[in-house]
Amino acid sequence: MRRRTFLQALNLGIASTALAHTKLMGMPFDLDLSAAPDKELDYHRIKDIRFSTVQLNYPRLVGKNARLDLHGHGPQVDICVLYTDRGAMGWASLRGSRREAEPIAKTMIGKKIGELFQRQIGITDARYIPFDIALHDLAGVILQKPVYALLGQAQPIINDCYSGMLYFDDLEPRDKPAGIDKVLEECREDYAMGYRQFKLKIGRGHKWMPADAGLQRDIDVTKAVAKAFPDCEILVDGNNGFTVDRFIQYLKGISGVKLFWIEEPFHETEADYRKLRQWLGSEGITTLLADGEADPNQEQLLQLFEKKLLDVHLTDIEGLGFTNWRKLMPELKQLGVQASPHAWGSLLKTYYTAHLAGGLGNTVTIEGVSSTSDDVDLSGYSLQKGKLIPASGPGFGMKLLKKV
């Protein structure tokens, strides 16, 4: 395992200099640009780039987690739409702000697609990262291939998908809390949608309830869901709302409940994860430990992976960037670490992850963010008995319905 390469791949802050020669956190980031350009891509040049939004609607109000208040009814997502001089169009979420992307867009007009993107690696220059996912979509459209096929799989690797929609809705409405039955009702809704994994938010005692009462509610919710859905797997996410000792109290309280994974119980430190891992081992508990979503220190994160104190890497699919995830995934495989890119907030991110995982594998499960939209045709994807089937159409297989 090449330590430097791993850290290069993990880095979130991509500078605007050429990706093949830039430095990330003081370290060079190297890509192999020696492959011959795709002639089919070079037939197309960028003619226009437009910006807009799409509205995604959650099936219900999503409540609090350990640190944040109500998450609302669904996001309005900034998007970019790329048009070529031969009539091809690709689109996706915009990484970063429109203000930052517009000057970069001007430099892309007139360029051959092959100058911006190569199917073997993704984007060819760090400055294009706001358009990283859209360029993957556009390349798929031009080449008439789904993105997972651009990554090397004629048929996608099919992955599990968990419901990431189970927040502290037992605490709402504030003047008349619904209680645990509300969480069970939502699990039934998600089960009917096709989910067979439920990720439960825990940490009510960090901010929203008295500490002991909140801990007991976390325990009661977990046990109730596990009892009501014996054919489903339970994941828990503490959003850094526990101390290690408090979290072990929670685990003692749910004794007998098998957890598929534990996510971000506390802010990651070697001492705390070592204590948790040792306690789990002493109890004969096997569960995956997942971290790396919330402002991770990449050097520290790598140390935790190397010391086998973490099992699953969670950095956001858009935050890291699709091209960087393509580079990171084989490094994770070498290290024996699995992936599950963070996708919360936007169903689009869930579907981008389905193609990344469908093409590269090494993904233990995918975060599901159930949504509908009048702006996007989402019908190419399906969730069948817990498995997310990605669209087989060109690019990401999502037709933009609104006029841009």
Buried b (16+ CB within 10 A) or exposed e, 127-165: bbbbbbbbbbbbbbbbbebbbbbbbebeebbebbbbbbb
* pLDDT tens sequence across 236-277: 999 999 999 999 999 999 999 999 999 999 999 999 999 999
CATH class of domain segment(s) 159-400: alpha beta
CA neighbor of 359 nearest in space, from 67, 108, 150, 199? 150
pLDDT at position 39 is 87
- CA–CA dist 85, 99 (Å, integer): 25
CA neighbor of 67 nearest in space, from 211, 230, 238, 188? 238
pLDDT at position 12 is 42
Checking if the pLDDT of 297 tops 60, the result is: yes
* pLDDT tens sequence across 189-247: 999 999 999 999 999 999 999 999 999 999 999 999 999 999 999 999 999 999 999 99
Locate the domains of the chain by residue range. 38-145, 159-400
Strands 259-263 and 288-291: parallel
CA 184, 187, 189, 191 dihedral sign is negative
Q: How confident is the model at residue 298 (pLDDT cuts 50, 70, 90)?
A: confident
Tokens describing residue 278? 């040792």
CA neighbor of 189 nearest in space, from 62, 95, 349, 103? 62
* pLDDT tens sequence across 54-65: 999 999 999 999
* pLDDT tens sequence across 333-377: 999 999 999 999 999 999 999 999 999 999 999 999 999 999 999
Arithmetic mean of pLDDT, 25-31? 36
Domain 38-145, second-level architecture: 2-Layer Sandwich (3.30)
- The mean pLDDT of the chain is 92
Do the domains 159-400 and 38-145 match in fold? no
CA 86, 49, 359, 383 dihedral sign is negative
pTM of the predicted model as reported, rounded to 2 decimal places = 0.93
